[in-house]
């Protein structure tokens, strides 16, 4: 017996001297690497056969069902790591960076098909790991052996503190290991042949792949974590038949994506803001969402400004102008102002008997009208009525907000709208986001960034400057509960063949019409110049007081204020005095000087 420490003596070098022509190699290890084959390629091509046993389930077909189990927080999956080690383990990055994987995989696959057989332990019972060389002249056993990689051969550095392997060449020991290997190899109940699966995996490395396949593989690996969060509960249920409705078939491709995204966000976060640019059909998109929930027997309320009620009432009425009459919409329509009313009727609905808490979905058109949440002691605001009576009371209510201008003056305007989705309790939304900060903290930090950005010079106050400064949590929040696309976005990411080209907004043309064509009459600029020369001094009597008398006037005004106790202006004394304006004509005695409080006795000022 001899000890190989993989420092002064390497296991790979010892295998090179032990492997002879026509020898049979038998290995039981956790993983197999094509780079270990490359390191021993000259010796492995001369052997008679290789029998390799994966000591834990690897490439086993019935283990594929494990992927269906949601292990969202499991960051290290041993089975997947063992299978990936076929193309190089995490410690063989230096070798993989040489970009020779494709050529090595092709050679290894051809060699495997001729001389190698692989079987996997399909049970979860532990198994010892070792390697045996069986030749006509000598038999050698090596143990323990973690895997068949360049790290285990001693050619690459791993993370193990020690990597000592015992070499056994006594016939008594080697015969025991060879007998154990053959016994395990012949047990079909516990071990399954995976040779074809391994060859197929290796072939996928060197086969020619189309650019589309590579692109989709990249997308899957980038967004696989997000795909795990999507399940059938938050996706539109196709069995409702919403795709057969007339309104759905009238939508363009980008509007259908928006409708599906809205349903997903409503089911996940109970609220969504559709903030597409003007002219992208937010109303039709919202109607498709409304029809989806109506097909699920949900009650829907549409709140809109009074000027837009005819637009919404047209689609739920039996009118010739209703292009969606076949879909038979059945939602209620009320105005924003109806939230402040307690009596009367609105479009045939008695407001004193409205069951506000029985709506499953509320669609708010022009939702930026609810951006303020100012509280008053004497009355209940529309915002408070909507929050308390419609959203919080009764059944669980989802809120869809339509607005082309979701942020007007400050970030709190957007936060107040989002508060309608999470019923004013930010924890309801925070626990569904990946951010560690609360919603209030996210908006507070965003507002601070905006305030600093607004103080920058004009040349530095760019969109890129504020986008680079805002936290990722803010974008995570917006991406979760908003859908906002511009026309440029649609033209860039969608096929606009069915849509056609968006109309281009022309620059305004200014026409300056003259006041008259007569030469003896002033034009607008001349009139403005003459008006600018007027001082209108009679309307500013305070300008007639000498600077030396201003202090006396102020003290007299203060004294009278103390005596009269702030009497009303109409009860104060006003005197008429003849005053000669500074540098102007004399005023007639009948003219009154007003606004000089505190001067009860005032003599004419002489220049």
Domain-located, residue 407: yes
Within this chain, do residues 180 and 67 fall inside the same structural domain, yes or no?
yes
Within this chain, do residues 148 and 269 fall inside the same structural domain, yes or no?
no
Domain-located, residue 39: yes
Within this chain, do residues 185 and 280 fall inside the same structural domain, yes or no?
no
Q: What percent of the chain has pLDDT over 90?
A: 19
Domain-located, residue 592: yes
- Domain end residue (candidates: 466, 493, 520): 493
Question: What pLDDT digit, counting tens, does each position of 364-385 carry?
Answer: 998 888 877 777 767 788 888 8
Within this chain, do residues 13 and 138 fall inside the same structural domain, yes or no?
yes
Question: What pLDDT digit, counting tens, does each position of 474-510 carry?
Answer: 888 888 888 988 888 898 888 888 888 888 878 888 8
Beta-carbon contacts of residue 382 (< 8 Å; ≥ 6 apart): 336, 337, 339, 340, 370
- Residue of 292, 230, 285 whose CA lies nearest to 258: 285
Q: Where are the beta strands (DSSP E) in 354-483?
A: 361-365, 398-402, 482-483
The DSSP symbol for 602 reads: -
**Please, is 431 exposed, middle or buried when counting C-beta atoms within 10 Å of its C-beta (0-12, 13-18, 19+)?**
exposed
**Per-residue pLDDT, 329:** 94
Within this chain, do residues 128 and 201 fall inside the same structural domain, yes or no?
yes
CATH classification at residue 108: 3.30.870
Question: What pLDDT digit, counting tens, does each position of 225-280 carry?
Answer: 666 555 555 667 777 888 899 999 999 999 999 999 999 889 888 889 998 888 88
Cα–Cα distance between 234 and 226 in angstroms, integer?
A: 13
**Per-residue pLDDT, 335:** 93
Within this chain, do residues 155 and 248 fall inside the same structural domain, yes or no?
no
Cα–Cα distance between 92 and 103 in angstroms, integer?
A: 16
**Per-residue pLDDT, 571:** 45
- Residue of 568, 589, 570, 569 whose CA lies nearest to 580: 589
Please give the backbone phi and psi of residue 25, each rounded to the nearest 5 degrees, phi first: -105, 130
Within this chain, do residues 83 and 16 fall inside the same structural domain, yes or no?
yes
Domain-located, residue 469: no
Within this chain, do residues 389 and 306 fall inside the same structural domain, yes or no?
yes
Within this chain, do residues 41 and 185 fall inside the same structural domain, yes or no?
yes
Q: Work out how many domains the chain is built from and give that number.
A: 3
**Please, is 346 exposed, middle or buried when counting C-beta atoms within 10 Å of its C-beta (0-12, 13-18, 19+)?**
middle
- Domain end residue (candidates: 474, 493, 512): 493
CATH classification at residue 333: 3.40.50.10810
Beta-carbon contacts of residue 511 (< 8 Å; ≥ 6 apart): none
What residue numbers bound the domain in which 562 lies? 548-607
Cα–Cα distance between 312 and 284 in angstroms, integer?
A: 10
Provide the token pair at 185. Answer: 């190899």
Domain-located, residue 447: no
**Per-residue pLDDT, 397:** 92
**Per-residue pLDDT, 125:** 82
- Residue of 299, 301, 272, 303 whose CA lies nearest to 382: 303
Domain-located, residue 267: yes
Within this chain, do residues 39 and 185 fall inside the same structural domain, yes or no?
yes
**Per-residue pLDDT, 88:** 54
Q: Is the peptide bond before 603 cis (omega within 30 degrees of 0)?
A: no
Cα–Cα distance between 178 and 112 in angstroms, integer?
A: 21
**Per-residue pLDDT, 323:** 93
Give the number of other Cβ atoms within 10 Å of residue 159's Cβ: 7
**Per-residue pLDDT, 312:** 94
Within this chain, do residues 157 and 258 fall inside the same structural domain, yes or no?
no
- Domain end residue (candidates: 472, 493, 514): 493
Handedness of CA 171, 176, 181, 183 (dihedral sign): positive
Within this chain, do residues 192 and 54 fall inside the same structural domain, yes or no?
yes
Domain-located, residue 53: yes
Low-confidence ranges of the chain (pLDDT < 50): 63-79, 91, 566, 568-607
| Number of DSSP helices (H) and strands (E) in the chain, helices first | 22, 16
Q: What is the largest CA-CA distance in the chain?
A: 140
Domain-located, residue 12: yes
Give the number of other Cβ atoms within 10 Å of residue 359's Cβ: 24
């Amino acid at each position: 017996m001899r000890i190989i420490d993989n420092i002064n003596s390497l296991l790979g070098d010892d295998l090179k001297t032990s492997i002879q022509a026509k020898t049979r190699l038998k290995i039981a290890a956790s993983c197999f690497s094509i780079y270990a084959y490359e390191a021993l390629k000259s010796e492995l091509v001369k052997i008679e056969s290789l029998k390799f046993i994966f000591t834990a389930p690897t490439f086993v077909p019935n283990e594929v069902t494990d992927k269906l189990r949601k292990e969202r927080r499991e960051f290290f999956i041993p089975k997947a790591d063992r299978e990936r080690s076929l193309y190089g383990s995490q410690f063989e990055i230096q070798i993989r960076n040489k970009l020779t994987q494709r050529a090595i995989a092709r050679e290894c696959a051809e060699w495997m098909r001729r001389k190698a057989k692989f079987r996997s332990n399909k049970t979860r019972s532990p198994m010892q790991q070792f390697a045996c060389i069986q030749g006509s002249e000598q038999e050698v056993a090596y143990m323990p052996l973690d895997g068949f990689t360049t790290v285990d051969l001693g050619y690459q550095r791993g993370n193990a503190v020690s990597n000592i392997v015992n070499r056994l060449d006594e016939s008594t020991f080697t015969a025991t290991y060879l007998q154990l290997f053959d016994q395990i190899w012949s047990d079909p109940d516990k071990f399954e042949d995976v040779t074809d699966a391994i060859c197929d995996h290796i072939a996928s490395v060197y086969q020619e792949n189309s650019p589309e396949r590579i692109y989709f593989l990249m997308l899957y690996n980038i967004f696989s974590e997000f795909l795990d969060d999507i399940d059938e509960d938050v996706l539109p249920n196709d069995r409702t038949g919403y795709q057969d409705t007339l309104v759905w078939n009238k939508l363009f491709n980008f509007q259908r994506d928006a409708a599906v995204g809205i349903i997903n966000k409503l089911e996940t976060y109970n609220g969504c803001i559709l903030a597409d640019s003007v002219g992208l059909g937010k109303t039709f998109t919202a109607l498709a969402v409304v029809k989806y929930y109506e097909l699920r027997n949900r009650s829907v309320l549409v709140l809109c400004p009074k000027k837009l009620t005819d637009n919404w009432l047209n689609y739920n009425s039996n009118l010739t102008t209703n292009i969606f009459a076949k879909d038979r919409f059945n939602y209620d329509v009320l105005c924003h102002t109806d939230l402040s009313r307690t009596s009367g009727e609105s479009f045939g609905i008695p407001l004193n008997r409205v069951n506000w808490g029985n709506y499953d979905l509320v669609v708010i058109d022009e939702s930026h009208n609810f951006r303020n949440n100012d509280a008053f002691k004497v009355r209940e605001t529309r915002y408070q009525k909507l929050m308390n009576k419609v959203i919080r009371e009764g059944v669980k209510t989802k809120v869809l907000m339509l607005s082309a201008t979701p942020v007007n003056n400050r970030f709190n305007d957007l936060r107040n709208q989002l508060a309608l989705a999470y019923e004013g309790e930010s924890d309801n939304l925070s626990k569904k986001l990946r951010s560690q900060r609360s919603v209030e903290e996210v908006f507070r930090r965003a507002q601070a960034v905006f305030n600093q950005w607004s103080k920058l010079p004009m040349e530095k106050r760019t969109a890129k400057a504020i986008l680079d400064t805002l936290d990722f949590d803010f974008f995570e929040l917006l991406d979760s509960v908003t859908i906002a696309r511009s026309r440029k976005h649609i033209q860039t990411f969608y096929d606009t063949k069915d849509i056609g080209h968006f109309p281009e907004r022309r620059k305004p043309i200014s026409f300056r019409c003259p006041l008259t064509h007569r030469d003896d009459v002033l034009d607008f600029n001349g009139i403005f110049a003459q008006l600018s020369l007027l001082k209108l001094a009679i309307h500013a009597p305070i300008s007639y007081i000498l600077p030396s008398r201003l202090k006396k006037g102020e003290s007299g005004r203060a004294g009278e204020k103390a005596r009269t106790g702030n009497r009303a202006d109409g009860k104060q004394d006003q005197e008429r005095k003849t005053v000669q304006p500074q540098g102007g004509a004399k005023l007639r005695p009948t003219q009154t000087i007003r606004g000089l409080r505190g001067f009860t006795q005032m003599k004419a000022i002489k220049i």
